[in-house]
Amino acid sequence: MATVAAPSHVDLVLNVDNINPNVKAMEYAVRGPLVIRAGEIEKELAMGVKKPFTEVIKANIGDAQAMGQKPITFIRQVISLVAYPDLLSSKEFPEDVKSRARAILESSRGSAGCYSDSAGLELVRNHVAKYIERRDGFPADPSNIILCAGASEGIRSTLKMLSTISGPRTGIMIPIPQYPLYSASIVEYNMEQAGYYLDEDNDWGLDVAELERAVKEARKRCNVRGIVVINPGNPTGQVLTRDNIVEVIKFAHREKLFIFADEVYQDNVYADNREFHSFKKVTKELGDPYDKLELASFLSCSKGYMGECGLRGGYAEIVNMDPEVKALYLKSISAKLCPTVLGQAVMDCVVNPPQPGEPSYELFSKEKAAVLKSLSERASMIAKAFNSIPGIKCNTVQGAMYAFPEVKIPEKAVAKAKSLGQAPDVFFAFQLLEQTGMCCVPGSGFGQRPGTYHFRTTILPQPEKLQIMLDKFRSFQESFLKEYQ
């Protein structure tokens, strides 16, 4: 490939000193330098470079299918018919698949190639509202449902509404540790992060005293207007109790905060003593004045039992938003035209799955249950294994797709990291990657209490590979401690 010499820095319109400073400042650790290095190592392996391992295990990102999970047949059948309606006459597809595909096509004016409304197809928005009603036992209004290309897009569109240009910057409370979409988008939108620590000693629960400390502290420097709660937790894997949710709602009411309920892992609950409660449901149960709180709740087809990350489907439910503000919200997403119609079709399958008596029901239920059972087993297995390794402490993985263990990094290793200009947890994660091929994200990408060190790993490698990964991790940690203790 011929390449042209890069023009000299000073001649350029765009250089690192004059680009958008918020773009420059944002960080997204899940795809950061460690992951870039993992990609390089994969290429080195492919070229035959010798390593102490034969493959990179990408435990950095919640990408179930990349780790070997099979797609749900029903979803893929519907998508293939929507994409190529000639198949509607094939005898190879069950009738319920065909009727779902026909309904989506009809709502989409006959073709997935037509733009939908910016908020999505009416049919899918109706199905989402019914899904929420079944889940919560409270009504949901289809006009409050905004379909989006993955939950991230919905979260970003909603966060953006709170941004300001002049005057004090908007503060958004986010958990520490948090999912770095939030820290990145907050910086991009010129807002301020107001972190509140999750309580690691109490299963990563939310402590109201800590919320109060955090908001008081943040209000000295910005105008705190929103709170993000991730439940089940990413990267922390906790599932909040209903009592804990009630406390957060009352806090949000007292402090006049817009609630961002990141509930994308609502199907991923493994702990016997926990169940998923949506923030919206609890506000409705609490009644006045809490049922008037403004909140947005998000779901994605990338997580749950389906793991359809690449197909990009999701929704935001916007509750109690001022009608004029909602009109402006809809306007703000219109320039993006519409989320992918096939991604919307995936969401339709998720919120309107096969019912008992329909031909796809049995296979669908079997596939869904198998995925969730296996994830539950891996969640137990991983926490147990980590807790048996010296220097590692891991909370129960009650839900979601991650463990976020604490690692005690010996002083000699901290000193070594400093000599390399790396944070200690980054040094640890790089060592782990280079020696074992395991790609985990250092805790500093999510945030952690000063002086503590963590890493996030997904629970997504298939059971056999997960066992290999945990064995490798144990050997690594033993020799790491031997070297630096």
Site for its own copies in 68-127 (CB under 8 A): 71, 76-77, 79-81, 83-84, 86-87, 90, 92, 108-116, 118
Angle between helices 73-83 and 95-107 (to 10 degrees): 50
Tokens representing residue 155 in the block: 């979260």
Among 192, 291, 377, 434, interactor with its own copies by CB under 8 A: 291
Please provide the size of the chain in residues: 485
Please tell me the distance from the alpha carbon of residue 344 to that of residue 313, in angstroms, as a whole number: 6
Q: Which one of the spans 27-35, 200-208, 213-221, 274-282 is the region binding its own copies (CB under 8 A)?
A: 27-35
- 339-368: contacts with its own copies (CB under 8 A): 339-343
Q: How far is the CB of 79 from its own copies (least distance, A)?
A: 4
Task: Select 31 or 51, whichever has its Cβ closest to its own copies.
Answer: 31
293-332: which residues touch its own copies (CB under 8 A)? 294, 302, 306-312, 320-325, 328-329, 331-332
DSSP 28: -
Binding mask 240-279 for its own copies (x = CB under 8 A): ----------------xxx---------------------
Task: Extract the tokens encoding 212.
Answer: 């109060």
Q: How many residues bind its own copies (CB under 8 A)?
A: 109
Say which DSSP state 95 is in. H
β-pair partners for 147: 315
Residue 220 CA to residue 230 CA, distance in Å, equals 25
DSSP letter at 70 equals P
How far apart (Å, rounded) are the C-alpha atoms in residues 165 and 271?
Answer: 44
435: buried, middle or exposed (CB in 10 Å: 19+, 13-18, 0-12)?
A: middle
The percent of the chain in helix, strand and coil, each rounded to the nearest 5, is 50, 15, 40
For residues 126 and 422, which CB has a smaller minimum distance to its own copies in the complex? 126
- CB 72 → its own copies: shortest distance, Å? 9
Q: Of 336-344, 372-380, 410-418, 466-474, which part binds its own copies (CB under 8 A)? A: 336-344
Which of residues 37, 102, 160, 449 is near its own copies by CB under 8 A?
160
Q: Which residue in the set 40, 55, 95, 141 belongs to the binding site for its own copies (CB under 8 A)?
A: 141
161 to 190: interface string for its own copies, x by CB under 8 A:
xxxxx--------------xx--xx--xxx
CB contact at 8 A, 402 and 237: yes
Closer CB to its own copies, residue 325 or residue 415?
325
- Torsion 17-22-27-28 (CA) sign: negative
Q: Min. distance of Cβ 223 from its own copies in angstroms?
A: 9
- Within 49-68, the residues that bind its own copies by CB under 8 A are 61, 63-66
CA-to-CA distance for 452 and 286, rounded, in angstroms?
37
Q: Give the nearer residue to its own copies in terms of CB position, either 26 or 372.
A: 26
374 binds its own copies (CB under 8 A): no
Please tell me the distance from the alpha carbon of residue 194 to that of residue 426, in angstroms, as a whole number.
23
